[in-house]
């Protein structure tokens, strides 16, 4: 009772939850993973989907720009493939050795008395491996990743997310979705390069079945799964378009990787390490107990079942 009385007297913190993108947000762009990932995606398009090498750069750019991720764009224009195989191809050869333990960031995160959740378009294996390399695997309550937003390999998007529960992210588990065997159906591919080559494209772009940032519905779905109120959540991401989409759904936003604040960003940080200088108010709350999560098992991420 004494604690409750005391708690009622202190000011309520502005936020309940901190939502973090992973890649190029919790570690810097200069680590080289993003460049390597882009190269691997281009190799996948040539080697696995049989696309013409000379068109890859232009096609990749158009897909990324219009669909959020190249993968989402490839599915939209008609390619079908096994998602796990795609992810292991593009992430399996990343220079993970470039990601070193970051005890400074770890200390900062653990001292923040809020729920902390990762929200990434990447797959769970990549997310868990990156966090493990950074020494941050026990700093988060859970991860909203590709498999959470895309629980089945569907040909059409679904709005029925009520049955989605967080799953435990465990490297050693055999918990994989049973996707159909790989197919690279190329019978009806939408010519997106031709589409944008027209002076006034009249046809609409095909929709993708993949749910990912920066789509507002993907962000809304993530918030619903994590059971967080956007108006009480601070969202960190290095992508301008993700930040702007986050702002449209009501989140408070922090653009990471630049000190130049843009429209839609409430704050801008050159590095995630600057969080204490830029947002000292995050620590100015009464309940300063560390919010830690079960980090006893190196790569195990506890489920988000608040």
Residues that bind Mg ion (CB under 5 A): 21, 23-24, 238
Helix (H) or strand (E) holding 51: none
d(CA 177, CA 247): 32
CB atoms within 10 A of CB 296: 7
d(CA 123, CA 175): 13
d(CA 39, CA 91): 11
Judged by CB, which is closer to Mg ion: 24, or 102?
A: 24
Tell the smallest beta-carbon distance from residue 24 to Mg ion (Å): 4
Judged by CB, which is closer to Mg ion: 77, or 244?
A: 244
Tell the smallest beta-carbon distance from residue 53 to Mg ion (Å): 27
Tell the smallest beta-carbon distance from residue 34 to Mg ion (Å): 8
d(CA 242, CA 173): 31
Judged by CB, which is closer to Mg ion: 110, or 240?
A: 240
Judged by CB, which is closer to Mg ion: 121, or 208?
A: 121
d(CA 156, CA 236): 29
Judged by CB, which is closer to Mg ion: 31, or 300?
A: 31
CB 45 within 8 A of CB 145: no
Judged by CB, which is closer to Mg ion: 29, or 291?
A: 29
Helix (H) or strand (E) holding 116: strand 115-119
- Residue 143, strand partner residues: 118
Tell the smallest beta-carbon distance from residue 244 to Mg ion (Å): 14
Helix (H) or strand (E) holding 273: none
- What is the secondary structure of 158-174 as a DSSP string? ----TT-----B-TT--
Judged by CB, which is closer to Mg ion: 176, or 241?
A: 241
Judged by CB, which is closer to Mg ion: 21, or 147?
A: 21
Tell the smallest beta-carbon distance from residue 108 to Mg ion (Å): 18
Output the six-digit token pair for 92.
């399996």
CB 118 within 8 A of CB 20: yes
Tell the smallest beta-carbon distance from residue 286 to Mg ion (Å): 33
Cα-based angle 273, 121, 128 (whole degrees, multiple of 5): 65
**Coil, helix or strand at residue 77:** coil
Tell the smallest beta-carbon distance from residue 31 to Mg ion (Å): 12
Tell the smallest beta-carbon distance from residue 193 to Mg ion (Å): 26
């Amino acid at each position: 009772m004494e604690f409750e009385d005391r708690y009622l007297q202190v000011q309520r913190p502005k936020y309940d939850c901190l939502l973090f993108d992973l890649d190029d947000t919790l570690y810097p762009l200069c680590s080289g993973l993003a460049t390597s990932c882009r190269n691997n995606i281009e190799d996948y398009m040539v080697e696995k989907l049989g696309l013409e090498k000379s068109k890859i750069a232009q096609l990749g750019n158009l897909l990324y720009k219009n669909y959020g991720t190249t993968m989402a764009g490839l599915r939209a224009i008609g390619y079908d493939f096994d998602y796990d195989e795609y992810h292991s191809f593009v992430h399996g050869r990343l220079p993970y050795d470039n990601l070193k333990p970051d005890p400074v960031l770890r200390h900062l995160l653990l001292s923040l008395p809020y729920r902390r959740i990762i929200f990434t378009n990447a797959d769970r294996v990549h997310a868990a491996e990156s966090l493990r390399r950074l020494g941050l695997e026990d700093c988060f309550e859970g991860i909203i990743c590709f498999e959470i937003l895309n629980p089945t390999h569907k040909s059409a998007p679904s709005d029925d997310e009520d049955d989605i529960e967080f799953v435990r992210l465990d490297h050693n588990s055999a918990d994989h979705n049973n996707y159909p065997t790989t197919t690279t159906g190329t019978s009806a591919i939408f010519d997106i390069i031709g589409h944008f080559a027209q002076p006034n494209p009249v046809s609409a772009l095909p929709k993708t079945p993949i749910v990912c940032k920066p789509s507002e519905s993907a962000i809304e779905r993530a918030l619903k799964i994590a059971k967080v109120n956007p108006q009480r959540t601070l969202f960190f991401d290095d992508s301008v378009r993700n930040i702007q989409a986050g702002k449209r759904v009501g989140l408070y936003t922090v653009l990471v990787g630049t000190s130049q604040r843009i429209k839609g960003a409430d704050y801008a940080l050159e590095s995630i390490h600057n969080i204490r200088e830029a947002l000292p108010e995050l620590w100015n709350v009464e309940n300063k107990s560390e919010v830690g999560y079960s980090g006893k098992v190196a790569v195990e991420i506890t489920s988000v079942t608040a």
